[in-house]
Amino acid sequence: MDLQFSDEDLAFRDEVRAFLKTNLPANLLDRSDRGLHPIKEDIEAWQKSLHKKGWIAPNWPVEYGGTGWSLTQKYIYNREYFLSGAPQTIAFGLNMVGPVIYTFGTEAQKNEYLGDILASNTWWCQGYSEPGSGSDLASLRTKAERDGDDYVINGQKIWTSFAQHADMMFCLVRTNTECKPQEGISFILIDMNTPGIEVRPIIGLDQDHTLNEVFFENVRVPAQNLIGEENKGWTYAKYLLGHERNIIARVARSQYQLARLKKIARLERRGTGLLIEDNDFRRRIAKVEVDLMALEAMELRYLSQDIAGKKLMAEPSVLKIRGAEIAQAIKTLTVEALGPYGMVYEAEDQLTMRNDGPLGPDYAHGAMADHLYQRAATIYGGTNEIQRNIIAKLILR
Amino acid sequence: MDFELSAEQAMLKDSVERFIQDNYAFSQWQALAGSDLGYSANNWKTFAEMGWLMLPFAEENGGLGGSVVDVAVVTEALGAGMTLEPLMSSVLLGGKLVEYLGDEIQKEAILGAVAEGTKTLALAYGEPAARFDLSFAETRARKSEAGYVLIGRKSVVLHAASADGLIVIARTAGEADDVAGISAFLVEPDAPGLRCQDYPLVDGGRASDVFLADTPAELLGEEGTALAALQRVIDEATCAVCAEAVGAMGWVLEVTKDYTATRNQFGKAIGDNQVIQHRLVDMFTAVEEAKAITDMTVMRVAEGAENASAQVSAMKAKVGEAARFVGAQGVQLHGGIGMTDEYPIGHYFKRLMALDVMFGDTAHHLNRFAETV
Ligand SMILES: Cc1cc2nc3c(=O)[nH]c(=O)nc-3n(C[C@H](O)[C@H](O)[C@H](O)COP(=O)(O)OP(=O)(O)OC[C@H]3O[C@@H](n4cnc5c(N)ncnc54)[C@H](O)[C@@H]3O)c2cc1C
């Protein structure tokens, strides 16, 4: 066992750190620092500059535009990236559908889509969940029927994050009803400008618009947009989930946000003193920090097992559960740090129309929005209950 | 010993529940929360007609002489509807402070109108650096020949924008953290040198930061005597808040039970999974604990028990923790729709979060209670 990185790895770390420090735009950092969603144009511009640097898709194979870094380097990059405060790159193209396309797609599909994903020319959304199919995703009913060279799609998706920005959707559709549910699902790519698609907003607890319903009425999608084989979509969808693993624990992001919490506690006045001097509050920050350390240690240990070629089973679910819980704990404490101002919340579109200054201290802005949004961390991508079911199946045999 | 409601209290509870049923469908709540005023002037009239605004005042002040127990009966039932009317700010905070502190002329001039709902008050006691400490005040009162003027900033003043009169806590002597030297003042909403920054709260409520720059003010009662009365008012209001939280938690529990019984995944109701059942049991237990400690504390406060203030902190710590847990689990067990603005459960989560913060969060009250250990 050895915790030290090699000299080359350390040099690499310094290079990444220096690049991020010089190039991360201030307005993007400010929003990310507060926990606010990036503005579409800003995150696209930032992704384009990462692309120019060649670092936009570290996990992709070199032949498709990846970096060729070792697992350790990828880990270091990811860590430095989030410790810089940078917002997560939009995962739908880069972390989700991109790997599916280069793994299972045709040459034509690779040529058509991968370049634009790397260059952030297209915005993708994920059309999995349906009103009746959330945790039980395999029960999905949105139907795709073959008609000549097209599939004709009818049905509805829900909770489709950022569909309002999307040019393309990767979508799970039902192509066979006469079999086990998992065996009648296909994975298809849909141009969001196709006639018959309607996107309706769903406003969230934070009063922000990130979620949508997407309706399909006789939407004609060329059969060449099917990924792999018909009725094999479930396999591709599961493959995709494995690819989110490197960001699932969000250790570095949580470390960054924990540092921000400490900063707030050092500024927040508590009578003649400061909040950070309150032993009870410090203890509770310490508790989250200890939890976060264990999470980091688990992540490192799994990384090292991964490098050694051991197959990971329940581990990603462990990381997802604890990662989400710890992120939520940090956001809860951040709002709590604000004292009575923790009750204050105004939706951003209203807030930006004000000319009478921030509500409470400037650092309060964003804390509640992120706290509210992060309640979903234990719901999306497989709820914490479902993750526990998965672990139980794997370890209790 | 008796935890049961009296016949009058049961009637009071019924009448509030009927009001909620008729006037607080979620769509009605949404419309009010989004309106300019932030609540319904019509509902407010009903509050007055039903006597809920008179309830806590002594009979000699034009009230019904109701106890904190009676008030808790009302706020618990209101909690289920997430009501938005300024009962707390105008009656339980502003009005009660006038009753405890004001001289006869002031009580005469103010309380009747407050109890009838024709005048609303807001109590500006908090400050940016005070967190939840009632005796910490940097806002100062200066006495001149013309009377007092106030200088400072008060924070998160509930319903200040719609109030017909403000009561401002300010220091007439001593340093910011001295226990002595705290006074209360009446301030007209159009007083010179008064500026309000109005904003919504996370739970649909309204509040303001109040900036005072040589703002003329009338002393309420006598100089330097406000702290004990303020502590008493906040203790009693904390009872009302805890009862409100119990009502809101009860609603969350019922709705979540219903939802998990009807939402199907994997070919059965999600509530058929034992893990969901245990979670609901934990929520139920939290509500039971919260209800019991609230009832007990409210009765102790009504009796004027000696250590009532510490008991209030114990209650608030317990109820605040329960409120957070029940609210968060309500959202979690609803899955995606728990995260939406158009569905009520998330708003109850937010209300419960605000109720935890109001008059001191769990941590504050646990620290305060720990001093008695
Ligand atoms: C902010 C946000 C963004 C999202 N983005 C997307 C997106 O971009 N694309 C997309 O396709 N989807 C997206 N989703 C949907 C998300 O994947 C689903 O919400 C999630 O899978 C849960 O499904 P559900 O909402 O239908 O809840 P349900 O499945 O109805 O679950 C409700 C509750 O029951 C519990 N439960 C269900 N089954 C069991 C069981 N067998 N045992 C124990 N407990 C159980 C769940 O854990 C949960 O607590 C998003 C959701 C949110 C909140």
Atom of ligand 1 nearest to the CA of A383: 47
- How far is it, in rounded angstroms, from Cα A203 to Cα A214? 14
The reported pTM is 0.97
**What does the block give as tokens for B331?**
């959202």
pLDDT > 90 fraction of chain A, expressed in percent and rounded: 88
Domain assignment of residue B46, yes or no: yes
Mean predicted lDDT score pLDDT of chain B: 97
Nearest Cα residue to atom 27 of ligand 1? B335
Q: What is the pLDDT of residue A303?
A: 85
- Looking at 3.40.50.300, 1.25.40.10, 1.10.540.10, 1.20.1080.10, the CATH number of the domain A7-88 comes to 1.10.540.10
Chain A environment of B335 (Cβ under 8 Å): 134-135, 379, 383
A272 in reach of chain B (CB within 8 A): yes
Based on the fold, state whether residues B305 and B327 are members of the same structural domain: yes
Q: Given pLDDT bands bounded at 50, 70 and 90, which one contains residue A309? A: confident
Q: What is the pLDDT of residue A338?
A: 98
Average pLDDT of span A290-303? 94
Name the H helices within B66-200.
68-79, 96-101, 104-116
What's the gap between Cα B13 and its chain centre?
Answer: 18
For residue B200, give the CATH number of its domain. 2.40.110.10
Tokens 């960001």 belong to residue: A247
Q: Which of A133, A158, A343 shows the shortest C-beta gap to B202? A: A343
Q: What is the pLDDT of residue B73?
A: 98
Q: Where are the domains positioned within chain A?
A: 7-88, 124-231, 247-394
Q: What is the pLDDT of residue A242?
A: 65
Q: What is the pLDDT of residue A243?
A: 62
Q: Of B361, B204, B137, give the one whose Cα is nearest residue A338.
A: B361
Min distance A168 CA to chain B CA atoms (Å) = 22
- Domain A124-231 class in CATH: mainly beta
Residues 47 to 106 of B: which have CB under 8 A from any A CB? none
Based on the fold, state whether residues B164 and B238 are members of the same structural domain: no
- How far is it, in rounded angstroms, from Cα B158 to Cα B165? 12
Based on the fold, state whether residues B42 and B106 are members of the same structural domain: yes
- How far is it, in rounded angstroms, from Cα A367 to Cα A330? 10
Q: What is the pLDDT of residue A3?
A: 74
Based on the fold, state whether residues B267 and B170 are members of the same structural domain: no
Min distance A90 CA to chain B CA atoms (Å) = 20
Q: Which residues in chain B show pLDDT less than 70?
A: none
Q: Of B70, B77, B71, B67, give the one whose Cα is nearest residue B7.
A: B70
Q: What is the pLDDT of residue A307?
A: 84
Residues 242 to 281 of B: which have CB under 8 A from any A CB? 264-267, 270, 273, 275-276
| Residue after which a domain boundary falls, among B224, B248, B280 | B224
Tell if the CB–CB gap between A345 and B200 is shorter than 8 Å. Answer: yes
Based on the fold, state whether residues B233 and B368 are members of the same structural domain: yes
| Residue after which a domain boundary falls, among B92, B116, B140 | B116
Based on the fold, state whether residues B232 and B220 are members of the same structural domain: no
Q: What is the pLDDT of residue A246?
A: 60
Q: Which domain holds residue B298?
A: 228-372
Name the H helices within A189-278.
233-242, 245-248, 251-267
Residues 168 to 227 of B: which have CB under 8 A from any A CB? 176-177, 197, 199-203, 205, 207, 209
- How far is it, in rounded angstroms, from Cα A137 to Cα A119? 31
Q: What is the pLDDT of residue A352?
A: 86
ipTM for the predicted complex? 0.96
Min distance B243 CA to chain A CA atoms (Å) = 19
Fold of the CATH domain A247-394: Butyryl-CoA Dehydrogenase, subunit A; domain 3 (1.20.140)
Q: Of A336, A323, A246, give the one whose Cα is nearest residue A291.
A: A323
| Residue after which a domain boundary falls, among B224, B251, B278 | B224
Domain count for chain B: 3
Q: Which of B205, B339, B357 shows the shortest C-beta gap to A340? A: B357
Q: What is the pLDDT of residue A349?
A: 85
Tell if the CB–CB gap between A135 and B270 is shorter than 8 Å. Answer: yes
A325 in reach of chain B (CB within 8 A): no
Domain assignment of residue B1, yes or no: no
Tell if the CB–CB gap between A344 and B197 is shorter than 8 Å. Answer: no
User: Residues B230, B184: contact at Cβ < 8 Å?
Assistant: yes
User: Residues A128, A202: contact at Cβ < 8 Å?
Assistant: no
Nearest Cα residue to atom 52 of ligand 1? A380
Q: Of B275, B271, B262, B259, give the one whose Cα is nearest residue B348.
A: B259
Q: Of B326, B246, B348, B352, give the one whose Cα is nearest residue B294.
A: B246
- How far is it, in rounded angstroms, from Cα B217 to Cα B188? 8
Name the H helices within chain B.
7-23, 26-33, 41-49, 68-79, 96-101, 104-116, 226-262, 274-303, 308-334, 344-357, 362-370
Based on the fold, state whether residues B211 and B291 are members of the same structural domain: no
Test the A interface: residue of B341, B347, B348, B352 with most A CBs within 10 Å: B341
The beta-strand segments (E) located in A209-339 are: 209-222, 269-270, 273-274
Is 70 exceeded by the pLDDT of residue A244?
A: no
